[in-house]
Amino acid sequence: MGKAKINAIRTVINGHEFDSQTEAEYYLELLKREDIAEIELQPQFVFMIPFQVKCSRCVKGRVPSPRTGNMVNCKTCKGTGKRNRQGWSYRADFRVHYKNGKVEVIDVKGFANESFRLVRKMFEYKQGIELLVVKKIKGQWKYV
């Protein structure tokens, strides 16, 4: 499971744990549909694999000691001369496969934070398909 959503209550349905009640409700809606062949829960998409960059605070992993002036291992890169950067991945709520061959990736939102705009844009750039965002508005599921 991903990070807990803002003010969300984790919910279990059919043995599957959902990050929010809203997400679980949408899952129940999907189960009612006869045009769906498969519902994938929490599909993960990798935007960027972990990588390294050259440490700009040292020369080949060494820096002068502020006390003695002797060359010592750089604390920032631990003497390697390289700094590790985390990869970037995104876990959607659902990937829905329809009987007609259509596939949709769906994220259920009660509240979308500012960083989600960037995630959505990167998803669409990398996958070449729209990331559908659904929200329950006045008792109806709407694409937003």
Instruction: Give the residue extent of every domain in the chain.
Output: 1-48+88-144, 51-85
Rounded Cα distance, 111 and 144, in Å: 11
Q: Read off the pLDDT of residues 14-70 as tens digits, 9 standing for 90 and up.
A: 889 998 899 999 999 999 999 999 999 999 999 999 999 999 999 999 999 999 999
- What is the model's pLDDT at position 27? 96
Q: What is the CATH number of domain 1-48+88-144?
A: 3.40.1350.10
Rounded Cα distance, 25 and 21, in Å: 6
Which of 53, 84, 59 minimizes the C-alpha distance to 72? 59
Q: Read off the pLDDT of residues 87-135 as tens digits, 9 standing for 90 and up.
A: 999 999 999 999 999 999 999 987 778 899 999 999 999 999 999 999 9
Residue 120 burial by Cβ neighbours in a 10 Å radius (0-12, 13-18, 19+)? middle
DSSP three-state, residue 32: helix
Rounded Cα distance, 56 and 47, in Å: 25
- What is the model's pLDDT at position 3? 52
